């Protein structure tokens, strides 16, 4: 059994969200919803995180930030797009600086639509993400040789 | 204390300390959650976290940092072994300092600005608590005439009767050592994020797991110091001592949940003032009555 699903640590990034979805994400941590009962911790550090929650769409300014956070997270990792903005660009889709949903930059595993996405829906999305996390962890076990080789090459 | 009991003490510490430390951390999180009106994670959550960290992909900034973190764990364990083998209090304090220095060096070696600020703050914290720890050692010497822990726990007097001020001072700096608010400046287990994660920003996966387990080992022998104040030759004193240890830990959780983080200046000033008023005055009185 994989322990990843029992202790998913989250990093939350606000793309160009209107803050509506952000407040709902933070509401999940309050006594009302208390996601810590699933072992979920809101960490500020991508290197400790397992699940990347993104709210809001990607624009020209934050595209590199989103990419960097994603790249700094160690495998296995899952990306959850919160809100319709993060899913497709939503109400901001037509803006001249908006590229669209998060999946235009990094691979997204779970989409949580809604404007704003409700805390229940966000928790649901994260729990769905846990399934993906377990699959990715199992995949890591099956082909552990490939990344190791790549690392050695880099060093040489 | 003879060799056999020393070996039993070391073996018990090596095996039981991580279990007890992890459990204590889990109970800590549960109680904290209840204090905040939340349900809280399972009591075994710290162990899930630990095994999860072992499962993650290893990412290190440079190889030397893993070496330093490993040294941190090893010296923490050695310190604890000295303690539970009934060794010399001064030696224990010095190896503890050495262990902390390894963690600071590990954080510095990563070159990350957040980790560096965390490391600097860790040094300031060490400056803050170190005087009180030394005063405690001197206090035990004045009461028992020996720095050896095996002599302290078998002495006819109960140290707390002569060292109430030093005990209070030690509980005060224990907040720093256990990394609790208001003095969790260099890193914390809560979501204070102005330093990302401070000292541990650049450690992930297995390295982070090593730090976690080192903290469990550390917390157990830190509570061991509290134990020393109450343990003596009397048969019931160990029971009292363990109860006081748990009560102290509960008090730390309460303080943790009631205070926001303070500035480092306040941490240093407050702990030095406490060391001088409670610790040093206690020593003076002890010196004159003996
Ligand atoms: S989905 Fe709605 S609430 Fe969420 S960030 Fe977009 S506009 Fe705001």
**Positive or negative CA dihedral for B229, B234, B240, B246?**
positive
8 Å CB contact between B215 and B73: no
Test B51 with A42 for CB contact under 8 angstroms: no
CA B173 from centroid of its chain's CA atoms? 9
Query: What's the predicted TM-score (pTM) here?
Result: 0.87
pLDDT of residue B247: 93
pLDDT of residue A150: 43
Test A74 with B45 for CB contact under 8 angstroms: no
Q: What's the CA gap between A56 and A91, in Å, rounded?
A: 10
Question: Which residues neighbour A85 within 8 Å (Cβ) at sequence distance 6 or greater?
Answer: A15, A16, A17, A18, A21, A55, A56, A57, A91, A92, A101, A115
Q: How many residues are recorded in chain A?
A: 156
pLDDT of residue B235: 79
**Probe site for chain B from A10, A28, A73, A74 (most B CB atoms < 10 A):** A74
Does residue A146 surpass a pLDDT of 60?
no
Q: Does A69 touch chain B (CB under 8 A)?
A: no
How many angstroms is it from A84 CA to the middle of ligand 1?
Answer: 6
Mutate which of A19, A24, A26, A55 to test ligand 1's pocket (most atoms within 8 Å of Cβ)?
A: A55
pLDDT of residue B24: 92
pLDDT of residue B148: 86
Domains, chain A, with CATH or none = 9-155 (3.40.50.12280)
Residue with token string 């110091």? B225
Strands (E), chain B: none
Query: Using a CB-CB distance cutoff of 8 angstroms, which residues of chain B are in contact with residue A47?
Result: 59, 201-204
The one-character DSSP state at A5 is G
Question: Which residues neighbour B30 within 8 Å (Cβ) at sequence distance 6 or greater?
Answer: B40, B41, B43
Q: What's the CA gap between A130 and A124, in Å, rounded?
A: 10
The residue of chain B nearest to residue A74, with distances taken between CA atoms, is B57
Query: What percentage of chain A exceeds 70 in pLDDT?
Result: 90
pLDDT of residue B191: 55
pLDDT of residue B192: 59
Residue A42's SS3 state is: strand
Q: What is the band of A153 on the pLDDT scale with cuts at 50, 70, 90?
A: very low
Q: What is the band of A155 on the pLDDT scale with cuts at 50, 70, 90?
A: very low
- Domain limits, chain B: 3-289
**Probe site for chain B from A1, A2, A3 (most B CB atoms < 10 A):** A3
8 Å CB contact between B7 and B25: no
Query: Using a CB-CB distance cutoff of 8 angstroms, which residues of chain A are in contact with residue B39?
Result: 34, 37
How does pLDDT run across A26-72, given as a tens digit for each residue? Answer: 898 888 888 888 888 888 888 888 899 999 889 888 889 999 999 88
Q: Does A37 touch chain B (CB under 8 A)?
A: yes
Instruction: Output the tens digit of pLDDT for each of chain B's 290 residues.
Output: 578 888 888 888 888 989 999 999 999 999 989 998 888 888 999 999 899 888 888 887 788 888 998 999 999 999 999 888 888 889 999 999 999 999 899 888 888 888 888 888 888 888 889 899 999 999 889 888 888 888 888 888 888 888 888 999 999 999 888 888 788 777 766 655 667 777 788 888 888 889 899 999 999 989 989 988 888 878 788 888 889 999 999 999 998 888 888 888 888 898 899 888 888 898 888 888 87
User: B197, exposed or middle or buried, with CB in 10 Å at 0-12, 13-18, 19+?
Assistant: buried
pLDDT of residue A17: 85
How many angstroms is it from A129 CA to the middle of ligand 1?
Answer: 20
Test A36 with B33 for CB contact under 8 angstroms: yes
8 Å CB contact between B156 and B233: yes
Protein residue closest via CA to atom 2 of ligand 1: A115
Give the number of A-B residue pairs with CB atoms closer than 8 Å.
78
ipTM: 0.82
């Amino acid at each position: 059994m994989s322990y990843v699903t029992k202790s998913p640590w989250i990093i939350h990034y606000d793309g160009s969200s209107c803050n509506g979805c952000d407040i709902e994400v933070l509401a999940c941590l309050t006594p009302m919803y208390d996601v810590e009962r699933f072992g979920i911790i809101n960490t500020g550090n991508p290197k400790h995180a397992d699940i990347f929650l993104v709210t809001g769409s990607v624009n020209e300014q934050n595209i590199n930030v989103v990419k960097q956070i994603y790249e700094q997270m160690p495998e296995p990792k899952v990306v959850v797009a919160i809100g319709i903005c993060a899913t497709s660009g939503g109400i901001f889709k037509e803006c001249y600086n908006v590229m669209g949903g998060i999946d235009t930059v990094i691979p997204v595993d779970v989409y949580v639509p809604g404007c704003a996405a409700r805390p229940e829906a966000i928790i649901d999305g994260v729990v769905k993400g846990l399934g993906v996390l377990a699959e990715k962890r199992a995949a890591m076990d099956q082909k552990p040789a490939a990344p190791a080789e790549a690392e050695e090459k880099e060093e040489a | 204390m003879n060799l056999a009991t020393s070996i039993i003490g070391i073996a018990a510490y090596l095996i039981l300390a991580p279990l007890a430390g992890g459990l204590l951390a889990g109970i800590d999180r549960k109680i904290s959650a209840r204090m905040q009106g939340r349900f809280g994670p399972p009591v075994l959550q710290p162990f899930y976290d630990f095994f999860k960290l072992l499962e993650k992909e290893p990412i290190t900034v440079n190889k030397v940092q893993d070496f330093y973190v490993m040294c941190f764990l090893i010296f923490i364990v050695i310190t604890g072994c000295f303690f539970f083998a009934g060794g010399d209090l001064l030696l224990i304090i010095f190896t503890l300092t050495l262990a902390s220095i390894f963690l600071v060096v590990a954080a510095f070696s990563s070159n990350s600005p957040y980790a560096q600020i965390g490391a600097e703050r860790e040094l300031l914290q060490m400056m803050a608590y170190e005087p009180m720890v030394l005063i405690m050692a001197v206090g035990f010497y004045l009461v028992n005439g020996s720095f050896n822990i095996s002599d302290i726990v078998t002495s006819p007097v109960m140290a707390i009767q002569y060292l109430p001020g030093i005990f209070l001072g030690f509980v005060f700096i224990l907040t720093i050592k256990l990394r609790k608010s208001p003095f969790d400046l260099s890193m914390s287990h809560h979501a204070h994020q102005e330093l990302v994660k401070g000292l541990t920003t650049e450690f992930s996966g297995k390295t982070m797991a090593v730090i976690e387990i080192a903290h469990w080992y550390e917390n157990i022998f830190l509570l061991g110091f509290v134990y020393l104040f109450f343990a003596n030759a009397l048969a019931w004193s160990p029971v009292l001592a363990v109860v006081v240890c748990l009560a102290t830990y509960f008090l730390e959780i309460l303080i943790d949940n009631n205070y926001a983080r303070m500035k480092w200046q306040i941490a240093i000033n407050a702990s030095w003032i406490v060391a001088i008023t409670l610790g040093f005055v206690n020593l003076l009185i002890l010196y004159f009555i003996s």
